[in-house]
Amino acid sequence: MQGALSNITGVSEVVSVSSASNTAVVKGEKGKVTTDALIKAVEADPRFKATVAN
C-alpha cells in the first residue's frame, strides 16, 4: 500500500499506513494530488476499499 501511494504524482510523503486502524496518511502538493488518484491506488488491491477523511 505504501508503495502504491508514494508513486502518485504530487505525493511528497506517506506518513503512515495502519492495517490495525485501516488508515493511511499522506502529505502532498496542494492541487497536484486528487482524491480519485488516492482511492484508485488503494483500491487497485482488491482486498481494500477507500474513502477520504478530513
Mind listing the pLDDT tens digit for each residue in 10-24?
999 999 999 899 899
- Indicate the pLDDT class of residue 53, thresholds 50, 70 and 90: confident
Q: What is the pLDDT of residue 24?
A: 92
pLDDT at residue 1, as a whole number: 87
Whole-angstrom distance, CA of residue 39 vs CA of residue 51: 7
Q: Residue 21 is placed in which grid cell? A: 486502524
Each residue of 30-51: pLDDT tens digit? 999 999 999 999 999 999 999 8
Across the chain, mean pLDDT equals: 92
Between the two ends of the chain, the Cα-to-Cα distance in Å is: 20
